[in-house]
Amino acid sequence: MNSKRELGGIVFIEILPENSLGLVTVVVKKKESPQAWEVAKGVKLGSAILVEGTYPPISLSKRGREFKADKLEVISTPRAPLPVDLTLKTGIHFDTRLRYRYLLLRTKEERALFKIRANVLKIAREFLEKKGFLEVNTPKICGAGAEGGATVFELEYFGRTAYLAQSPQLYKQMLMTGLTKVYEITPYFRAEKHHTTRHLNESWAIDLEMGFIKGMEDVMEVLEELVCHIIEGVRKECEEEIEILGVEIDSPRRPFARLKYDKVLEILNEEGIHIEWGEDLGDAEERALGKVMKNEGYNLYFITHYPWKTKPFYIMKEDGLSRSFDLDYKGLEISSGGQREHRYEELIKNIREKGLNPKDFEFYLEAFKYGMPPHGGWAVGVERLLMKMLNIDNIRETILFPRDIQRLIP
pLDDT in tens, 73-113: 999 999 998 999 888 888 899 999 999 999 999 999 999 99
Asked if residue 215 and residue 69 are part of one domain, the reply reads no
| Phi, psi (deg, nearest 5) at residue 48 | -90, 125
> Beta partners for 315?
340
* Predicted pLDDT at 337: 97
> Is 100 within a domain?
no
The answer for residues whose C-beta is within 8 angstroms of residue 269's C-beta and 6 or more apart is: none
Report the domain count for the chain.
2
Q: Are 352 and 337 in contact (CB under 8 A)?
A: no
Position 229 in a domain: yes
pLDDT tens digits along 139-162: 999 987 666 566 899 999 999 999
Could you tell me the CATH number of the domain that includes residue 60? 2.40.50.140
Q: Measured between alpha carbons, how far is 125 from 141 in angstroms, rounded to an integer? A: 24
- How far apart, in whole angstroms, are the C-alpha atoms of residue 322 and residue 309? 8
Low-confidence ranges of the chain (pLDDT < 70): 61-62, 145-150
Tell me, yes or no, whether 162 and 306 share the same domain: yes
39 contacts 72 by C-beta, under 8 angstroms: yes
* Residues 182 and 49 occupy one common structural domain: no
Task: Provide the pLDDT for residue 146.
Answer: 62
Residues in contact with 160: Cβ distance below 8 Å, sequence separation at least 6, in sequence order: 143
Domain boundary among 81, 116, 149: 81
Residues 132 and 22 in one domain: no
Evaluate whether residue 88 is within a structural domain. no
Structural domain harbouring 260: 108-398
Q: Dump the DSSP string for 193-255.
A: ---SSS--SEEEEEEEEEES-SSHHHHHHHHHHHHHHHHHHHHHH-HHHHHHHT---PPPPSS
User: What pLDDT does 2 receive?
Assistant: 85
- Answer for the pair 199, 404: CB distance below 8 angstroms, yes or no: yes
**What is the spatial distance between Cα 19 and Cα 115, in angstroms, rounded to a whole number?**
9
Same domain? For 194 and 76 the reply is no
